Amino acid sequence: GENVEQHPSTLSVQEGDSAVIKCTYSDSASNYFPWYKQELGKRPQLIIDIRSNVGEKKDQRIAVTLNKTAKHFSLHITETQPEDSAVYFCAASLNEKLTFGTGTRLTIIP
């Protein structure tokens, strides 16, 4: 099955700076890579995703890059704001089944 590793587990960033979270996956057949934001006690919310036929996708302050050769993908948040503080999860889909990373607790320091 698929295995997803996520780093770092915690990340503190000054407000206005950028944050980068990285994930690697094990199965080259995985073809869909979503990112979720989860606030305390809430459900995971999809914030951005990328398919395996695309190298980069951007949505306002959030971008995701995918390197299929290296089997890794990254989340980039620019101009961070206090409301970006949350736990972020990456995931990889193999045969339509999502395997999640272990999460990154992002704290934005005002």
Partner 1 sequence: NAGVMQNPRHLVRRRGQEARLRCSPMKGHSHVYWYRQLPEEGLKFMVYLQKENIIDESGMPKERFSAEFPKEGPSILRIQQVVRGDSAAYFCASSPMGLAYEQYFGPGTRLTVT
Interface with partner 1 (CB under 8 A): 1, 6, 32, 34, 41-45, 49, 51, 89, 93, 96-103
32 vs 76, beta carbon nearer partner 1: 32
Q: Which residues have a Cβ under 8 Å from the Cβ of 5 and sit 6 or more positions away?
A: 23, 24, 25, 101, 102
12 vs 18, beta carbon nearer partner 1: 12
27 vs 49, beta carbon nearer partner 1: 49
User: Cα-flanking dihedrals φ and ψ of residue 81, to 5°?
Assistant: -130, 160
Minimum Å gap between C-beta 63 and partner 1 is 18
What secondary structure does DSSP assign to 81-104, as a single string? -GGG-EEEEEEEEETTEEEE---E
